[in-house]
Amino acid sequence: MEYEIKPADKLSLNLKELWEYKELFYFFTWRDIKVKYKQTVLGFAWAILQPALMMVVFTFLFGKAIGAQSHISMPYPVFVYTGLMLWGIFSGGLQASGNSMVANANIIKKIYFPRLIIPLSSILVSVFDFLMTIIPFIGLLLYYQTNVDWLRLFIFFPLSFIIILLTTFGIGTFLAALNVKYRDFRYVLPFMIQFLMFATPVIYPATIVTDERIKFLLSLNPLSSAIAIFRSIFEPLPIDYNALGLGLAMSAFFLLIGIYYFRKTEAYFADLA
């Protein structure tokens, strides 16, 4: 086993090395999940309770006020819950990964491993939370006796998940790297997440927007196409394949940008953190 340590100049993804460190990846994710719910009375139940409570709030406050029900064919609680489930991966993942490099600075300064493991494993925590939210979701579907299109379920559920995950990985790693150098992003992040929530059709249907320019901007948001196809499993509406294609392309674009920037700057994390 011979290798060289050289000045950082060449940019490579080095997936092989990432694979060699898969156990550390596992341990970091495991640690983050464990620590997140340690010393809480309700434990993992929080993962379920958070979106459930949000759903109740949005149903009572916004569901009627903005007249969303007239634009959709499924019950508003189901509608908003589907949005919140996927949104949770993004917002939780972004929050965790954005601060992850700084939070793990003491490890980064003392030990080498592929740095990408840190933001990625912190995002997997919100994937775990997402899996937990499926349980009450099934209850919700049964309660409202919602129809499920099984074919769409098997195609669009994984697809929407992948779009969300790639987008979250992309923006999350980008912000993680930026935050090492510019701690401003610690303060920008909560604001940004809140803003993006309203720029994404999570609590309102996309059809409520009539302005063509805003419609175009929304279509560039991969989260909106992910949420749209996820919802299409539960309401028999035609699929906008252009929007889906654009969503996939945009999520891949975000992923490339994020990982490119991360890889470009990671060599100096230990000096800056």
Partner 1 sequence: MRPIIEIQSISKNFKIQHERQSYLSLRDSFTNIFKSKNTLEEFWALKDVSFDVYPGESIGILGRNGAGKSTLLKILSKITPPYSGKIISRGRIASLLEVGTGFHPELTGRENIYLNGSILGLKRSEINKQFDAIVDFSGVEKFLDTPLKHYSSGMQLRLAFAVAAHLEPEILIIDEVLAVGDAEFQKKCMGKMGEVSKSGRTILFVSHNISALSSLCTKGIVLANGALKFNGDITSAIKYYSGEYLNNITSWEGNEGDDQVRLHKTWIKNNTENLIIESSYDIEVGITVEVLKPIRDLILGFMLYSELGAELAYSLYDDDQDKVLQLITTPGIYTRKFIIPANTLAMGSYKLEFDVGIHMTKKIIASQGELSFSVENISGIGRRHLTPNVKGRSSLFRPNWKVE
Minimum CB distance to partner 1 smaller for 108 or for 250: 108
The backbone torsions φ and ψ at residue 5, rounded to the nearest 5 degrees and listed phi first, read -110, 120
Q: Give the closest residue to 146 by CA, choosing from 227, 71, 223, 232.
A: 232
Q: Which amino acid appears at position 147 of this protein?
A: N
Q: How far apart are CA 109 and CA 104, in angstroms?
A: 9
Smallest distance from the beta carbon of 131 to partner 1, in angstroms?
Answer: 22
CA–CA distance from 89 to each of 134, 203, 218, 219, 250 (Å)? 12, 15, 19, 19, 17
Minimum CB distance to partner 1 smaller for 252 or for 273: 273
Minimum CB distance to partner 1 smaller for 62 or for 113: 113
* Residue ranges that bind partner 1, judged by CB under 8 A: 1-8, 23-24, 27, 31, 34-35, 38-39, 106-113, 180-184, 267-268, 270-272
Q: How far apart are CA 166 and CA 139, in angstroms?
A: 28
Minimum CB distance to partner 1 smaller for 7 or for 238: 7
In the numeric block, which tokens belong to residue 236?
A: 């028999």
Smallest distance from the beta carbon of 128 to partner 1, in angstroms?
Answer: 17
Smallest distance from the beta carbon of 89 to partner 1, in angstroms?
Answer: 24
Smallest distance from the beta carbon of 6 to partner 1, in angstroms?
Answer: 5
Q: How far apart are CA 273 and CA 106, in angstroms?
A: 8
Minimum CB distance to partner 1 smaller for 4 or for 212: 4
Q: How far apart are CA 91 and CA 83, in angstroms?
A: 12
Smallest distance from the beta carbon of 39 to partner 1, in angstroms?
Answer: 7
Minimum CB distance to partner 1 smaller for 104 or for 200: 104
Smallest distance from the beta carbon of 257 to partner 1, in angstroms?
Answer: 18
Rounded to 10 deg, the angle between the 241-265 and 212-220 helix axes is 50
Q: How far apart are CA 14 and CA 7, in angstroms?
A: 16
Q: Give the closest residue to 221 by CA, choosing from 203, 196, 194, 240.
A: 196
